[in-house]
A and B are shown apart, each in its own frame.
Chain A
């Protein structure tokens, strides 16, 4: 079955308040199940590619935490044709970069190059994805680098605080695992485990390839077909059945770590990207923490000067998402700052957002989203990501309609539905 869809048709029907980001996208699903998306963008002489696989911590457990990311890290260090140094030289010669990592719902190989080298970039991406060497000595070398990165994340107060927060919020649900893994799990993962995990997940029906840039669409599609279209459909399956939902109890965790600032994170579970409430919760997050005119910035930074950094996070997830407000503050202000943060969450559950605030939040949310999708690297990522998490590459046009339609009542309803119980993490220096 082949399907071709011109994405532009849907996008053009809507009045765009900010950026005309919706250039035509051509989508094709090969017979083996692999999906390809190509977006031709004349803006600058560059190209970006993203190859996503449905493989990530969502399929891992504490015992093999970090396995997906480990596989990705080893893949870019050598193929059956080239060693790591030769791959690095090849990509530098294209004026580009190539890297790979594992995430929660997906793992990605991503690359960039000068547009005139799009064919070479696509070829290199295919070589790394389909013919990785996965050599034992590279597994050992990458383990050392990964252990150093885990240490760096723990040493850095904000990243450590975020990792603890997600572990507390999600409990035994695998969304609570660190994508980099732990020293214990990384020590346990060997070459055999890496090779087996690769074989299990790198199947055409689990893969989405997206390319955006100053490229000829039909030629890119033909080259993608030559490189990926013959990939055989193999036996074996991955268990994708939905997991039992997490049930956070609303704990408050305090961790002592030497630092100049105290980190404060407060949040709750939130809808999946495909849920009806997704757009309203994005708006909620924008009213609170979006931009310099968001409530947290105005109240906590501008009016009370309690923080330099204060923001809200709500990222799209295939499974249950997380809503999180975050600030870094002086240790002596931590008590007041946490109380002020909680007051803002209480307020948005109790009082409707006024019309001007809602209007600003909508414009800001859609404006920043459109602006973020102007580079080819971001476009390739978004195209592949929305396809991979099951909402389709053309999700942005439907999302825009949902954001524009949301009312103050919707925001209060989702605030009351989702913003409890609150999980809290405080990480900072011990009291003097």
Chain B
């Protein structure tokens, strides 16, 4: 589906790559080529002939965090509007063109970035590049289309609220990051969306959709030389001013924030969020492994103890979100409401045990293999690899990304325990409590 913000707490969150050093040799893969066009657009190309398709992704350095308080939801609204058309591509024609060759288009919004994805037969690569360059600067924002999309976005808000897993992920992130821009609703508020004007949207678009904020990632059964030529032709002539991002306030301490929400579900949900290192921090690798060991798989500590041995929860997992200016490690669980307090105490006891005793060498090795495997499964598809590269280029650096698995392998058990001691302090808490009067 077009839309969504990144599936917080569910996906691996940090793209685990390491093409050159460790993995490139393992898998015999070529390295990506990174070039900068004269106007600041970054191009990343990698030939991958696993199947006869090409993934083309336009990554924008703009997202929910760049919005002023009266602009909340505009980044996401643009995500909905760009594939709707340009002066030379009437409404509906882009979807018909893409799907008419058996391809797919999609788009995603996060706090740090927005990206527009095409998946096409490889021989359509040049047409796809031209299409992305066109929507990057020439979107029409047809008034009728814009008004109709308002209702779609309002429906999306309702949909998120009806799904307890997604809603918990959203609420806990908002609670932990409040009052910084990362703690605001990525979809905006119903009031702002109802009042949104074409001028406001166009102003935001022209301000942020400038060449220096763009990265084009191309992975697939393509000749890199052809891609460079097509990209230079389509993106190289774009012009626009710089649009430096506003500085972000420091990540707040989430300590002791707590919210209980009545919900129609019969089971309760518990979410805890700890302040964790941002994407470029030296502690990212240790925190990543720590999260795997704590709650990423059925053999993780929370699953073995809190779910299987103590039987206090029906499901439990830990996740690590790395944003550019501050991360979160979260633990989420589904459980009977009478177990809410004991479940939370059991989670904290496991965390305490990690801080006291650290992790075993076996656990460390297993976590590294899990990270390696997550990466290997990402690169099964052209779009998976493109997404890893796009996020790295936009949020971090491609070079860091390529060395990341090697860094994970060098991380020691002592560093993992140190991360547990540093980051598992105060936490924000959100609980969904069954509302007896709901039905």
Q: Which residues of A contact B (CB under 8 A)?
A: 16-21, 42-46, 84-85, 88-89, 91-97, 112-115, 141, 144-145, 148-149, 151-152, 154-158, 256-261, 290-293, 298, 301-309, 328-330, 359-360, 363-364, 366-368, 370-371, 374-376
Tell me if B101 and A261 are in contact (CB < 8 A). Answer: no
Partner of A304, one of B96, B102, B148, B311: B148
In the bound assembly, the distance between CA atoms of A156 and B308 in angstroms comes to 25
CB proximity to A under 8 Å, residues B111-168: 119, 121, 145, 147-159, 161-164
Tell me if A306 and B151 are in contact (CB < 8 A). Answer: yes
Partner of A45, one of B26, B148, B298, B438: B26
Q: Provide the B377-400 mask, 1 if CB < 8 A to any CB of A, else 0.
A: 101110000000000000000000
Residues of B within 8 A of A375 (CB): 377, 380-381
Smallest CB–CB gap between A180 and chain B, Å? 13
In the bound assembly, the distance between CA atoms of A113 and B377 in angstroms comes to 9
Tell me if A328 and B155 are in contact (CB < 8 A). Answer: yes
Q: Provide the B220-250 mask, 1 if CB < 8 A to any CB of A, else 0.
A: 0000000000000000000000000000000
In the bound assembly, the distance between CA atoms of A148 and B334 in angstroms comes to 9
Tell me if A298 and B102 are in contact (CB < 8 A). Answer: no
Output the residue of B121, B153, B157 with the most chain A CB within 10 A.
Answer: B121
Residues of B within 8 A of A292 (CB): 2, 83, 95, 99, 105
In the bound assembly, the distance between CA atoms of A281 and B162 in angstroms comes to 32
> Can you name 11 A-B pairs with beta carbons within 8 Å?
A17-B121, A19-B52, A19-B121, A45-B27, A85-B308, A95-B369, A149-B314, A261-B155, A305-B152, A308-B156, A360-B99
Task: Indicate whether A367 sits within 8 Å of B266 (C-beta atoms), given known contacts A92-B366, A93-B366.
Answer: no
Tell me if B266 and A114 are in contact (CB < 8 A). Answer: no
Tell me if A95 and B372 are in contact (CB < 8 A). Answer: yes
Smallest CB–CB gap between B326 and chain A, Å? 29
Partner of B52, one of A16, A152, A290: A16
Residues of A within 8 A of B155 (CB): 261, 307-309, 328-330
Smallest CB–CB gap between A288 and chain B, Å? 14
Q: Which residue of B lies closest to A116 (CB)?
A: B26
In the bound assembly, the distance between CA atoms of A292 and B53 in angstroms comes to 20
> B185 contacts the other chain (Cβ, under 8 Å)?
no
Partner of B99, one of A43, A89, A144, A363: A363
Residues of A within 8 A of B413 (CB): none
In the bound assembly, the distance between CA atoms of A18 and B382 in angstroms comes to 14
Tell me if A298 and B99 are in contact (CB < 8 A). Answer: no
Residues of B within 8 A of A293 (CB): 92, 95-96, 98-100
Task: Indicate whether A92 sits within 8 Å of B369 (C-beta atoms), given known contacts A17-B102, A155-B267.
Answer: yes
Smallest CB–CB gap between B48 and chain A, Å? 8
Interface size class of B (residues with CB under 8 A): 35 or more
Partner of A94, one of B119, B156, B369: B369
Smallest CB–CB gap between B436 and chain A, Å? 12
Tell me if A20 and B52 are in contact (CB < 8 A). Answer: yes
In the bound assembly, the distance between CA atoms of A42 and B265 in angstroms comes to 45
A/B pair count, beta carbons within 8 Å? 204
Tell me if A298 and B92 are in contact (CB < 8 A). Answer: yes
Tell me if A46 and B96 are in contact (CB < 8 A). Answer: no
Task: Indicate whether A256 sits within 8 Å of B96 (C-beta atoms), given known contacts A155-B164, A302-B148, A375-B381.
Answer: no
Q: Provide the B339-380 mask, 1 if CB < 8 A to any CB of A, else 0.
A: 000000000000000000000000001100110110011011
Tell me if A364 and B102 are in contact (CB < 8 A). Answer: yes
Tell me if A301 and B27 are in contact (CB < 8 A). Answer: no
Smallest CB–CB gap between B24 and chain A, Å? 11
Residues of A within 8 A of B158 (CB): 260-261, 308, 328, 330
Q: Provide the B14-48 mask, 1 if CB < 8 A to any CB of A, else 0.
A: 00000000000011000000000000000000000
Smallest CB–CB gap between B117 and chain A, Å? 12
Partner of A44, one of B27, B119, B299, B365: B27
Tell me if B100 and A360 are in contact (CB < 8 A). Answer: yes
Residues of B within 8 A of A330 (CB): 151, 154-155, 158
Tell me if A93 and B152 are in contact (CB < 8 A). Answer: no
Residues of B within 8 A of A364 (CB): 99-100, 102
Smallest CB–CB gap between A248 and chain B, Å? 28
Partner of A328, one of B100, B159, B381, B439: B159
In the bound assembly, the distance between CA atoms of A258 and B98 in angstroms comes to 38
> B304 contacts the other chain (Cβ, under 8 Å)?
yes
Tell me if B159 and A309 are in contact (CB < 8 A). Answer: yes
Tell me if B101 and A155 are in contact (CB < 8 A). Answer: no
Residues of A within 8 A of B308 (CB): 84-85, 141
8 additional contacts, CB 8 Å, given A95-B376, A364-B102? A46-B373, A141-B311, A158-B162, A256-B439, A293-B100, A360-B96, A364-B100, A374-B381
Smallest CB–CB gap between A157 and chain B, Å? 6
Task: Indicate whether A371 sits within 8 Å of B53 (C-beta atoms), given known contacts A144-B311, A155-B267, A259-B264.
Answer: yes
In the bound assembly, the distance between CA atoms of A97 and B379 in angstroms comes to 17
Partner of B265, one of A20, A155, A291: A155
Smallest CB–CB gap between B125 and chain A, Å? 13
Q: Which residue of A lies closest to B296 (CB)?
A: A92
Residues of A within 8 A of B53 (CB): 18-19, 371, 374
> B412 contacts the other chain (Cβ, under 8 Å)?
no
Tell me if B264 and A21 are in contact (CB < 8 A). Answer: no
In the bound assembly, the distance between CA atoms of A256 and B438 in angstroms comes to 11
In the bound assembly, the distance between CA atoms of A342 and B334 in angstroms comes to 38
Q: Which residue of B lies closest to A329 (CB)?
A: B155
Partner of B119, one of A42, A304, A371: A371
Task: Indicate whether A367 sits within 8 Å of B103 (C-beta atoms), given known contacts A89-B366, A302-B148, A305-B151.
Answer: yes
Task: Indicate whether A305 sits within 8 Å of B100 (C-beta atoms), given known contacts A20-B52, A95-B372.
Answer: no
> B1 contacts the other chain (Cβ, under 8 Å)?
yes
In the bound assembly, the distance between CA atoms of A154 and B162 in angstroms comes to 12
Q: Provide the B48-68 mask, 1 if CB < 8 A to any CB of A, else 0.
A: 001111000000000000000
In the bound assembly, the distance between CA atoms of A292 and B121 in angstroms comes to 18
Residues of A within 8 A of B96 (CB): 293, 360
Smallest CB–CB gap between A28 and chain B, Å? 25
Task: Indicate whether A85 sits within 8 Å of B266 (C-beta atoms), given known contacts A113-B373, A371-B104.
Answer: no
Residues of B within 8 A of A155 (CB): 164, 264-267
Task: Indicate whether A291 sits within 8 Å of B151 (C-beta atoms), given known contacts A94-B369, A308-B159, A309-B159.
Answer: no
Task: Indicate whether A291 sits within 8 Å of B373 (C-beta atoms), given known contacts A261-B159, A308-B152, A359-B100.
Answer: no
Residues of A within 8 A of B438 (CB): 258
Partner of A88, one of B1, B161, B298: B298
Tell me if B27 and A302 are in contact (CB < 8 A). Answer: no
Smallest CB–CB gap between A432 and chain B, Å? 15
Partner of B95, one of A45, A158, A260, A291: A291
Smallest CB–CB gap between A25 and chain B, Å? 16
Smallest CB–CB gap between B161 and chain A, Å? 5
Residues of A within 8 A of B311 (CB): 141, 144
In the bound assembly, the distance between CA atoms of A371 and B164 in angstroms comes to 30
Tell me if A114 and B373 are in contact (CB < 8 A). Answer: yes
Tell me if A302 and B370 are in contact (CB < 8 A). Answer: no
In the bound assembly, the distance between CA atoms of A273 and B191 in angstroms comes to 48
Residues of B within 8 A of A367 (CB): 99, 101-104, 121
In the bound assembly, the distance between CA atoms of A16 and B314 in angstroms comes to 45
Residues of A within 8 A of B370 (CB): 92, 95
Smallest CB–CB gap between B93 and chain A, Å? 9
